Structure 1
């Protein structure tokens, strides 16, 4: 599939969109449960979409029990769905149990996330955590929003191991989408001028619309490339909103930990950045979900995981190189983080 063919496919009106445009029908949410959602002392009515993508979507087609949220849903691939948002209609406030990545392919749209109104422009990306109420304003013919819906199972051992070399900033972004967070998080990436983001998203859309014989491997690798580049976008400061708060600059601290994880201490790091030690670790915990000690350990574990997969060095040697002097504690934390021992982790890496 060429980019021109992809563009034509996305811009073409689905039968349901044509009916919406002609005002023959309206979105129907009668098949979804509506609940009262409390947030910051206020209550709003939201629709609950299924607890998994497969419970909510038919493939190919649209919402299983109601129409209006999407008009195109490709079949499930790798615990990952992709859809095109229905134009000529609004999407009512709703919540769901999967992570959503929205890419503004063309035009713009207004999204209301929680109580915050966001204007998403062409080329920008928004990532929404599970469980956060959000709605989409009316979109016209040129306003094409592509959503990738990722079930929790998508973020498995294989996915994390491919991102292992990217450091704790990657873990920070992934933690926004993990079960450890408060599920009120979102990130808006100002990626409209990022060449790679546009390339990777176009390739992903093409692979979904016209799958090849290697679709699973291609999709998995494109997703890793996409998230890798989103880390670059984040590190360059091109992020509007993060974890439900205005952006706070913790990136320099995290960079310092990445570069000095073997020997850095809370006291010394706080002094370098001119912060009170208790305040700094509280700030890190609030913004990343990790305390200073946990971030240091996470970086040591990631370093060790990379060495285990890519070298034949003995585990004891790798533990020493990571800066973790207590072997028993390291083995305990490694199993908590990766779900297996270092030895089994190496075996999994060799067998794929």
Structure 2
């Protein structure tokens, strides 16, 4: 799909948009809206909108139809492809123009006003699990931004914030978004891998252009513990890293660091290390014929039996079965 084909695809009316656009009176339009209205609770769960087995999905907002105030358990990225978007976020009026983005934290109430034919709004919905350690470790360049995402994903609180990125003049972001949407709406081999790579680039570019301030919030705990730097360190040293070596590197007491990581991520230090090691093991299993023994040693496990135990506990299958299943499915 080319950029021109993407533009035609996004501007083409859906059936409901065609009916709404053809309404000759406000009364008829309102009646049609009610006919197509689906009654939801004010909280949208990710299972309602993100297909099973996927962590990210894209959709085009229905034009000519406002959306009532709601919140959701997933993280939402709103991108204005064309026109504008007027919404209310936590009782605050927020206007967005072409090329701008907004990231909504979990449990953030927002509503969208009526839109016109040129108001093309892209919704990117992401489960918390989409942001793995490799992704988060690359967000250390901006404490507010990375703190926001870390909080949204791992804090056991009712989050309700957002970040507005005034990127309307940033051609690079629009090119990245076009590339992502072309891949998503015209799927090819390796589409998921390409989109994942583009998303890392997109968020990195968003870090560069982000100049604003999040709603008033105390990020001192995250700043003081340098959480994304710590994640990056663990990711880099995962084969031999220990809580003690990490604490020494960041000049922390090891007990204190362990408690901070547990509070922020919900996992013990060793669980974080296992997660990173197993993720690396899966990459090798999918993409090489290296023996399971060598893979276990390569990712930091000296005891092969222990590697089998933690792998099966995580993936509910043996490493060999994982390799066979991934190749059978064409992953």
**Match among 97, 102, 112 for residue 136 of structure 1:** 112
Task: State how far apart, in whole Å, the 1-side matches of 2:24 and 2:238 are.
Answer: 56
Match in the other structure for 1:294: 271
Aligned pair partner of 1:32 in 35, 39, 47: 39
Per-residue CA distance 1:214-258 (angstroms, 9 max, x = gap): x3536434432333324644776959769x985754221111111
Q: Which moved more, 1:7-16 or 1:294-303?
A: 7-16
Contact 1:84 1:147 in 2 (8 A): yes
Match of 2:229 among 223, 235, 252: 252
- Pairwise mapping of residues 143-158 of structure 1 onto structure 2 (< 5 A)? 143-148=119-124
Q: 1:206 to 1:324 in 2, by over 3 A?
A: closer
Aligned positions of 1:204-223 closer than 5 A: 204-206=180-182, 211=186, 215=187, 217=189, 219-223=191-195
Q: Choose from 174, 177, 193 the match for 1:201.
A: 177
Unpaired segments ≥5 residues, structure 1: 35-45, 56-75
Map 1:272-291 onto structure 2 (within 5 A). Answer: 272-291=249-268
Q: Does 1:226 align with 2:203?
A: no
Indicate the SS of the match to 1:147. Answer: strand
2: distance between equivalents of 1:257 and 1:77? Answer: 27
1:52 maps to 2:48:
yes
Residues 61-84 of structure 1 show CA distances to partners (whole Å, capped at 9, x for unaligned) of xxxxxxxxxxxxxxx998976432
Structure showing the higher strand proportion among its residues: 1
Scaled by the length of structure 1, the TM-score of the pair is 0.62
Task: Return the structure number with greater helix share.
Answer: 2
Partners of 1:101 and 1:127 within 8 A in 2 = yes
Q: Deviations over 1:121-168 (max 9, x none)?
A: 54455566777644234556654211245789xx8xxxx8xx999467
Of 332, 336, 348 in structure 1, the residue corresponding to residue 313 of structure 2 is 336
**Aligned-residue offset at 1:12:** 6.3
What is the distance in 1 between the residues matched to 2:53 and 2:281? 31
Per the alignment, do residues 312 and 138 of structure 1 end up closer, same or farther by CA in structure 2, a change over 3 Å counting? same
Deviations along 1:11-66, one digit per CA (max 9) or x if unpaired, are 567435536897443443864144xxxxxxxxxxx2658953499xxxxxxxxxxx
Does the aligned pair in 1 maintain the 2:65–2:115 contact within 8 Å? Answer: yes
**Structure 2 gap ranges (5+):** 139-145
Using a 3 Å threshold, how does the CA distance of structure 1 residues 52 and 117 change in structure 2: closer, same or farther? same
Greater CA drift, 308-317 or 215-224? 215-224
User: Which whole-Å CA distance do the structure 1 matches of 2:114 and 2:218 have between them?
Assistant: 26
Give the length in aligned residue pairs: 307
1:313 Cα shift? Answer: 2.9
